[in-house]
Structure 1
Amino acid sequence: MDEKLKSIVLEHSDDIVKMWLEEVNNHKKSDYTATISDELFESTNREFVNVIFASLERQGLSSDMDDFSERLINLGWPLSYLTDGMQVFRRVITEFILSRSDQIDSEYFSKVLRKVDDWVDPVINRLVNEFSGSWEHIVSLQRVALQELSAPLIPVMDDITIMPLVGTIDTERAKLIMENLLDGVIKHNAEVVLIDITGVPVVDTMVAHHIIQAAEAVRLVGSRCILVGIRPEIAQTIVNLGIDLGKFPTKSSLRKGFKAALELTNRTIEETQTNVKDIENLVDSLNRE
């Protein structure tokens, strides 16, 4: 019976594909695929059903499924597209087999359902596993990339570096900040480090504690730390929480912090007067050349 059912499916694959495509296309108007172009939707559906029938013909799961799942992720399609499509295929193929038979008793019906499940379930499991594995891999790479960008240490001048912080600071990120800060201070031989918290939305006891630890660690390796970006609401929060930030300087803006860093490294900003006439003469000479 197994071979008989399979031969029915394969011999009438064109009819089954047509029925499947009609049902899948009917869903397009009301679900997440509504914004996808008709051409892309049609080509993806064709590839999907080809992958399914390839597994039936080869009597096993093909590597095409892995490639198909990866392409769906790159296209940004959700996992539900695979699961919904396979459930539609299960229903279509079951109805088609039953419609081709004069035998309608419950035993035959149960055998058809079991056989269709034997075909469809391994395909669903393989597609879902490959999709999930590829997705987890991409998420892992994105997490690493975000971590690398979450606590950069930027050398802006000899002996002076800046660490701009943006977003929420949790325990894991605080550990990364500490590691990058100490490694960067030693690597760039920095005397002063500016920690800019302008982009940190909330400074609570835990965040302040991590910042104090980072500043203390910088001091232990022979450098000095200046905390900049203290907005009025953050200053009020720090005072209300009773947090002591008196061990290292704080400034309201990066500009003020940078000026303080220059003073700590025995440098100052000198204002110069430029002769406008000299600039005009220089521009004229460049234009003549």
Structure 2
Amino acid sequence: MKNNVALHDFIVNNTDSLTNAWFQTKKGKEGSIYSSTAPVIGDKLRLQNKKFITTIAQIFINIDTESNYEAIKQWASDVAKDRVSTNTELKEIISQFKVFRQIYWNKINEFALQSTNSITPEKLLTWSNLFHYAFDNVIEEFVATYTAYHQAALLAQQEMISELSSPIIKLTNEISVLPLIGSIDTQRAKIIMESSLQQCQEKNVECLVIDLSGVPIVDTMVANQLFIVVSALELIGVKSIMTGVRPEVAQTAVHLGLDFSKITIYSTLEKALENLENYTKNRKPNSR
């Protein structure tokens, strides 16, 4: 145990040396957090690396294995989240792990070769097993956490893009247009419904024109989802008008048994807008 404590102290006392060795060898493309052109980010990397060094060093003196790996997992989780926020590619991160693993192990070897320590081959092998097992755990936890955070970030971006692609544009105090452009899948259909209901309530929309002329394909799923959107809007008192409905869309609706008879449909948005004046004139006062 005496040698283990001595190794731990040797590593901790050499955190600056280990980090400097990494900084001298690491290479990052322009704009990467690993490049040499961002001193503020460099300071953060130094702090994270020093924390990593001391966290790994604990495995040589702390017999509580579970406690050791909880600390390792926490470091991996914190740094993975940070790397996702800086849009750092996982391939680039793993490459840096590979570089620093060798730097760290070389420092352990340096300690073992000092004549005053009398480290046996058996002891060095034990340290090797501890070190590489801990390092592998860091990488495994890092990759799992990075992937989870990255997927969550992508999903949030996709949802934001979908919401922005479903804007309700006010024409008058009561009438608005929802121009739908691009493909519609199940996820986007759900967002369209949620966004439409919310925007219609916020903008006090009485009549919503849903224009489908920019949707390239309206299959069975899309037609059914649109029917659900219209039905939901009706429940909050919003009259729906559909435009840009092509013959194949109508056929799909018929095959599904969807009743669009209560929905006013025009072939083009232009024709709908021409007739909206009549709707405004003929609507009942206080109809909502």
Coarse TM-score class (shorter-chain normalised): 0.5 to 0.7
Which runs of structure 2 are paired with 1:132-143 in the superposition (5 Å)? Answer: 134-135=149-150, 138-139=153-154, 141-142=156-157
Deviations 1:241-280 (A, max 9, x none): 554497344334433322222222238xxxxxxxxxxxxx
Residue of structure 1 in register with 2:12 after alignment: 10
| Structure 2 counterparts to residues 1-289 of structure 1, below 5 A | 1-25=3-27, 28=28, 33-36=29-32, 37-40=35-38, 43=42, 45-55=45-55, 61=71, 68-102=79-113, 107-117=122-132, 120-121=135-136, 123-124=138-139, 127=142, 131=146, 134-135=149-150, 138-139=153-154, 141-142=156-157, 145-146=160-161, 148-181=163-196, 190-215=205-230, 218=233, 224-230=239-245, 235=246, 237-238=248-249, 241=251, 243-244=253-254, 247=261, 248-266=263-281
Local SS of the residue matching 1:94: helix
| Residues in 2 aligned to 1:67 and 1:246: alpha-carbon distance in whole angstroms | 52
CA distance 1:238–1:251, change in 2 (3 Å): same
Could you say what the CA RMSD is over the residues aligned between the two structures, in angstroms?
4.1
Change (3 A) 1:3 1:199: farther
Distance 1:187 1:19 in 2: 58
Return closer, same or farther for 1:265/1:20 CA change in 2, 3 Å cut-off.
same
Q: Any stretches of 5+ residues in structure 2 without a counterpart? A: 60-67, 283-288
* Equivalent position amino acid for 1:164 in 2: P
Q: Deviations over 1:46-90 (max 9, x none)?
A: 344233234357887498876654443332113444443233222
Task: Look up the equivalent residue of 1:264 and give its one-letter code.
Answer: Y
Give the drift of 1:194.
0.3
Amino acid at match of 1:94: W
User: Aligned AA for 1:89?
Assistant: F
Letter in 1 for 2:22: W
Report deviation, 1:187. 6.4
What SS does the aligned partner of 1:98 have?
helix
Q: Do the aligned residues in 2 keep the contact of 1:153 with 1:184 (CA within 8 Å)?
A: yes
Once the two structures are superposed, residues 152-191 of structure 1 have per-residue CA deviations (whole angstroms, 9 ceiling, x without a partner) of 4444213312222233322343344345545665666644
Partners of 2:125 and 2:233 in 1: CA distance: 72
Amino acid at match of 1:238: V
CA distance in 1, matches of 2:280, 2:9: 84
The superposition leaves residues 215-245 of structure 1 with CA deviations (integer Å, 9 ceiling, x where unpaired) of 4555676654322245xxxx36437x55449
2: CA distance, partners of 1:222 / 1:13:
67
Aligned length: 256
> CA–CA distance in 2 between the matches of 1:205 and 1:117?
54
Matches of 1:58 and 1:97, distance apart in 2: 13
Normalised to the residue count of structure 1, the TM-score between the two structures is: 0.65
After superposition, the Cα gap between the structure-2 partners of 1:54 and 1:81, relative to the gap in structure 1 and judged at 3 Å, is farther
Aligned-residue offset at 1:195:
0.2
Determine helix, strand or coil for the equivalent of 1:89.
Answer: helix
- Residue 85 of structure 2 aligns to a residue whose secondary structure is helix
TM-score (norm 2): 0.66
The one-letter code of the counterpart of 1:10 is: V
Q: Which moved more, 1:169-178 or 1:215-224?
A: 215-224
